[in-house]
C-alpha cells in the first residue's frame, strides 16, 4: 500500500470515529438517566402499595410534670414529652426547680405502625397493627389514623417492653396486610425505604441503604438485633415499616443515633423476623414466653481469645453457670466457649441472647462448645425465663483504676435505680477510698460520656476507658438526680 493511501485511510478512520463517538456517549448518558427513572418509579410503586397500610398513631395519657418551660404545642404537646426525651435527650425532659409542685396534664404522643395481619370475624373484621412499645406504653387512649383520613380507636392486644414491640387491634379489615419479608436474608448495601409520620407529617417516605445488620449491645432494648440504615428516621417514625424494593417489610423503625435530636445518618430498625415472632406470641399467648439457659456470657476480647487459643470472633465465653439451671443440667462448664447454637455460628453476646430467648421453653436445642481445645456437641432442654431467671447477660465491668463497677442499663436496672435505659452505663458498686469514691461518685450514678465519647454499654465503657489509660486521666459526664456534671478523675 502506498504511503499516501495509508495516510488517507488513517485520517478517514479518525474522522469516522469522531463522527460516531458523540452518539455513543449520548446513548450511554440516556441509559443512565433511564436507569434513574426506573429506580424512581420503583420507589413510587412501593409508596403506592405500602402507604395505605401504614397508620398514624396518636396516644393520650395522664402524666405528672414539673416544668419551667413549655413546648410550642402546649398545653397538649403534639409529640409528647416522653418521645421528645427519647429522641432529643435529657435536656428536653422539662427543666424544673427543686421541690416544684407537680402538675397533672395530658401527655400526647405520636408514632407510626403498619397492618401485618387481618382476621375475619362473625360480628366484625379486625386489623392488627405492629408498632413500638414505647409509642403506646402507659396509654389511656389510642387513636389510629389511616391514609384516607379514617380514624379508629385502637385496643392494645399486648406489649413487650424488652423487645420494644406492641400489637394493636382496630375494627376494620379493608386495609391490606403488608407482605413480610425475610430479614435474615437482608444484605448490607440493599435499598430500603422507611415510611411513617415524622414530626406528624403523615406518610413520609425516605430512602437509603442497609448500613449494617445484627447491631447489638446498643443499650436501646434488652433484646437487640438491629438493622442499621441511613434512610432518614426522625421522631414519629417509630413503629413504621422499613421495606425493600419489592414492598416487603424487612424491619420496624425504632430509634436513631443523634447528638442533636434530628437525623444524622444512622437509624435502627427491629428485624421483621424478630418483630413478627414477638407479635405472634402476644396475639396467641398474651405474653412473650422466652427461653432460659442460665449462663452469664461475655465477648471474647483479644487477650481472652489468646489465652484460650482462639480467634477473637470465634464464639463467646461462659463466665458463670447458674446452679440447677438448664445449662448446668446439660453439663455446660465455666470457661466453655460457645461457638454454635441451633447449628448457627455464635459470635456476639447479643445475638446469642436472642437465639436463646426465641427458643420455645421445654424444647431441645443443640449447641457446640470448645472445652480445653476439644469440640463438644451438647443438647440442652431450654427452660422458661421468669423474673428471677438470668438468661445470657454481660457481667459487670470493673475498673481497677477508678475503683468502680459499671453495668449496661437493662429495663430491670432502669426501674430499680429510676434511670433511663439506652443512654450511659450504671455505676453498681464503688470501692471505699478509691479514686471514684473520693470524687463523690456513688452507686446509681449514670456515666454518659468518657472523654466526650457517648457510651451505652459496659463493654463500650471499658473500651473508652482503655484509651485514657496512658494519660491516667479521664473526663466523665455524669448524671445523678436528673443533674448532669463533668468530672475529671486522675490516678497514678
User: What are the catalytic residues?
Assistant: 134, 164, 238
- Per the DSSP assignment, residues forming a β-bridge with 384 are 291
Cell output for 158: 399486648
DSSP 190: -
Coil vs helix vs strand at 410? coil
Q: Enumerate the β-bridge partners of residue 154.
A: none
Give the cell for residue 12. 478517514
Task: Give Cβ neighbours of residue 307 (< 8 Å, ≥ 6 apart).
Answer: none
How far apart are alpha carbons 376 and 128 in whole angstroms? 44
Determine which helix (DSSP H) or strand (DSSP E) holds 46, and give its type and residue range. helix 3-50
Three-class SS state of 100 = coil
Residue 389 C-beta-side C-alpha neighbours within 13 Å: 21
- Supply φ then ψ for residue 71, to 5 degrees: -75, 160
Q: Between the CA atoms of 395, 387, 356 and 252, what dihedral angle is there, to the nearest 10 degrees?
A: -100
Question: Alpha carbon of 99 to those of 66, 93, 190, 420: distances in Å?
Answer: 9, 16, 52, 21
Amino acid at each position: 500500500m502506498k504511503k499516501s493511501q495509508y495516510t488517507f485511510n488513517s485520517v478517514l478512520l479518525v474522522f469516522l470515529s469522531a463522527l460516531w463517538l458523540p452518539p455513543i456517549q449520548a446513548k450511554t448518558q440516556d441509559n443512565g438517566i433511564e436507569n434513574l427513572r426506573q429506580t424512581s418509579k420503583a420507589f413510587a410503586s412501593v409508596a403506592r402499595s405500602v402507604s395505605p397500610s401504614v397508620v398514624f398513631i396518636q396516644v393520650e395519657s395522664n402524666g405528672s410534670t414539673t416544668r419551667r418551660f413549655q413546648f410550642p404545642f402546649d398545653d397538649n404537646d403534639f409529640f409528647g414529652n416522653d418521645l421528645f426525651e427519647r429522641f432529643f435527650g435529657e435536656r428536653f425532659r422539662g427543666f424544673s426547680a427543686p421541690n416544684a409542685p407537680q402538675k397533672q396534664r395530658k401527655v400526647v404522643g405520636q408514632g407510626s405502625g403498619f397492618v401485618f395481619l387481618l382476621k375475619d370475624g362473625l360480628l366484625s373484621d379486625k386489623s392488627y397493627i405492629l408498632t413500638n412499645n414505647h409509642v403506646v406504653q402507659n396509654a389511656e387512649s389510642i387513636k389510629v389514623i389511616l391514609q384516607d383520613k379514617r380514624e379508629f380507636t385502637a385496643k392494645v392486644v399486648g406489649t413487650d417492653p424488652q423487645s420494644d414491640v406492641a400489637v394493636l387491634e382496630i375494627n376494620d379489615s379493608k386495609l391490606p396486610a403488608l407482605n413480610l419479608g425475610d430479614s435474615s436474608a437482608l444484605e448490607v448495601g440493599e435499598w430500603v425505604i422507611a415510611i411513617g409520620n415524622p414530626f406528624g407529617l403523615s406518610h413520609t417516605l425516605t430512602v437509603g441503604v442497609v448500613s449494617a445488620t445484627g447491631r447489638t449491645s446498643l443499650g436501646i432494648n434488652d433484646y437487640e438485633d438491629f438493622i442499621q440504615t441511613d434512610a432518614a428516621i426522625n421522631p414519629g417514625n417509630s413503629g413504621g415499616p422499613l421495606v425493600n424494593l419489592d414492598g416487603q417489610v424487612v424491619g420496624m423503625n425504632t430509634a436513631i443515633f443523634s447528638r442533636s435530636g434530628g437525623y444524622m445518618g444512622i437509624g435502627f430498625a427491629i428485624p421483621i423476623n424478630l418483630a413478627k415472632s414477638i407479635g405472634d406470641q402476644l396475639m396467641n399467648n398474651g405474653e412473650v414466653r422466652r427461653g432460659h439457659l442460665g449462663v452469664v456470657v461475655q465477648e471474647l476480647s483479644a487477650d481472652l481469645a489468646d489465652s484460650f487459643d482462639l480467634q477473637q470472633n470465634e464464639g463467646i465465653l461462659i463466665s458463670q453457670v447458674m446452679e440447677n439451671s438448664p445449662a448446668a443440667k446439660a453439663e455446660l462448664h465455666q470457661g466453655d466457649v460457645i461457638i454454635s447454637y441451633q447449628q448457627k455460628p455464635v459470635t456476639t453476646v447479643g445475638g446469642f441472647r436472642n437465639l436463646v430467648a426465641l427458643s420455645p421453653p421445654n424444647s431441645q436445642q443443640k449447641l457446640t462448645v470448645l472445652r480445653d481445645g476439644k469440640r463438644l456437641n451438647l443438647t440442652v432442654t431450654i427452660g422458661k425465663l421468669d423474673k428471677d431467671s438470668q438468661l445470657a447477660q454481660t457481667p459487670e465491668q470493673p475498673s481497677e483504676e477508678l475503683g468502680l463497677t459499671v453495668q449496661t442499663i437493662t429495663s430491670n436496672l432502669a426501674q430499680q435505680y429510676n434511670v433511663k435505659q439506652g443512654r450511659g452505663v450504671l455505676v453498681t458498686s464503688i470501692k471505699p477510698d478509691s479514686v471514684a469514691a473520693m470524687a463523690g461518685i456513688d452507686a446509681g450514678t449514670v456515666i454518659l460520656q468518657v472523654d466526650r465519647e457517648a457510651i451505652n454499654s459496659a463493654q463500650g465503657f471499658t473500651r473508652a476507658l482503655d484509651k485514657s489509660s496512658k494519660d491516667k486521666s479521664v473526663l466523665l459526664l455524669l448524671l445523678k438526680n436528673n443533674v448532669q456534671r463533668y468530672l475529671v478523675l486522675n490516678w497514678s
